[in-house]
């Protein structure tokens, strides 16, 4: 879909009376890229923010496309402003749903983790509307749009989805009407507390696939360049001559690191960081104390992603505990006698 068609869809959606009303709310979720630079002055309130980069690697958040945000669009006419502020984001999801769902959605994101999506809750209500926006390429001049709505979705929102499909004439726009939501036809906001708890907790094993990024073959090249430059800087700081052998050795190390990144950065459950931690945690587990920290970090970042990496991180935790106990027994048995 071109910029012209895209702006037409967003503009018409912003004019829909049912997008924001006394009993309905508009929520916008972003994944990847920077946090949109919007605030209450333009009718946008940040309700939740997360990052796939753990807190103890916080500096990486400035260079990694790892942010996740949930905004409430309080003024429907400001929807184009919000969408325009999300140019750096990989994915943007716009929802319209009954207003009582807001606290349930926020609770779900806090409990299920950053790889969860508001749609896992909102889509259970038959009155929901969803528009998912994916940038088709780095120029931000073409988009892939997918629209879904429930059987009880207001007519004006459902009509926008069908209008965009028919008038836009774009094969990359998919409009789907779900007549039977996966849980029940009863609105989520009117279900029992027990049902809400089950709904919020049902995604503990969400796969959380790695999103789109640069091609994997670029990793060895980038690794070689970055590490080679680091080698040149190290040699200059140490006053050592910068030789071809020296630079080649550092570049070779960068290629190996890049190959590891390329192998880990493949479609599937988890993130690049969580997979990397899972792979190195069995080796790090051989170190006392430090191994336990690596194992716990690996499991914490993979616990919502079923698959080999979560299994590997669990093994690493057990291994690190055994190694730590072994070293503790050695210290207690021989450390005080001075025989070690």
DSSP letters, 9-40, are: HHHHHHT-TTTS-SSEEEEEEEESSSPP---G
pLDDT of 202 strictly over 70: no
Task: State the Cα–Cα distance between residues 117 and 98, nearest whole angstrom.
Answer: 17
How far, CA to CA in Å, does 292 sit from each of 113, 300, 331?
A: 23, 12, 17
Summarised one tens digit per residue, pLDDT across range 70-110 is 999 999 999 999 988 887 777 899 999 999 999 999 999 88
Mean pLDDT of 202-219: 51
CB of 161 within 8 A of CB of 129?
yes
Task: State the Cα–Cα distance between residues 7 and 80, nearest whole angstrom.
Answer: 8
**Confidence class of residue 29 from pLDDT cuts 50, 70 and 90?**
very high
- Residue 44 β-bridge partners: 73
Summarised one tens digit per residue, pLDDT across range 313-339 is 888 888 888 888 888 888 887 765 555
């Amino acid at each position: 879909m071109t910029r012209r068609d895209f702006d037409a869809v967003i503009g018409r959606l912003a004019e829909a009376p049912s997008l924001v009303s006394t009993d309905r709310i508009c929520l916008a979720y972003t994944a990847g890229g920077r946090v949109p630079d919007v605030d209450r002055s333009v009718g946008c309130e940040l309700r939740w923010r997360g990052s796939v980069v753990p807190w103890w690697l916080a500096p990486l958040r400035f260079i990694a496309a790892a942010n996740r945000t949930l905004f409430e669009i309080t003024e429907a006419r400001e929807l184009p402003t919000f969408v325009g502020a999300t140019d750096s984001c990989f994915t943007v999801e716009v929802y319209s749903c009954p207003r009582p769902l807001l606290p349930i959605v926020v609770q779900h994101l806090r409990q299920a983790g950053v790889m969860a999506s508001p749609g896992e809750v909102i889509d259970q209500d038959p009155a929901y509307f969803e528009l998912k926006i994916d940038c088709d390429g780095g120029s931000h001049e073409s988009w892939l749009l997918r629209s879904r709505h429930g059987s009880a979705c207001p007519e004006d929102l459902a009509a926008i989805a069908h209008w965009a499909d028919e008038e836009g004439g774009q094969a990359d726009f998919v409009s789907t009407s779900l007549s039977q939501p996966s849980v029940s036809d009863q609105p989520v906001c009117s279900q029992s507390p027990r049902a809400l708890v089950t709904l919020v907790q049902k995604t503990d094993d969400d796969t959380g696939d790695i999103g789109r990024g640069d091609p994997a073959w670029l990793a060895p090249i980038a690794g070689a360049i970055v590490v080679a430059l680091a080698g040149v800087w190290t040699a200059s700081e140490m006053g050592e001559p910068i030789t071809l052998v020296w630079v080649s050795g550092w570049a070779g190390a960068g290629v190996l690191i890049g190959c590891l990144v390329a192998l880990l950065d493949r479609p599937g459950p988890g993130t690049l960081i969580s997979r990397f931690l899972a792979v190195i945690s069995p080796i790090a587990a051989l170190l006392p104390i430090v191994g336990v920290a690596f194992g716990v970090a690996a499991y914490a970042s993979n616990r919502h992603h079923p698959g080999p990496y979560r299994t590997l991180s669990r093994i690493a935790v057990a291994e690190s505990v055994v190694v730590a106990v072994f070293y503790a027994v050695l210290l207690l048995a021989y450390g005080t006698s001075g025989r070690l």
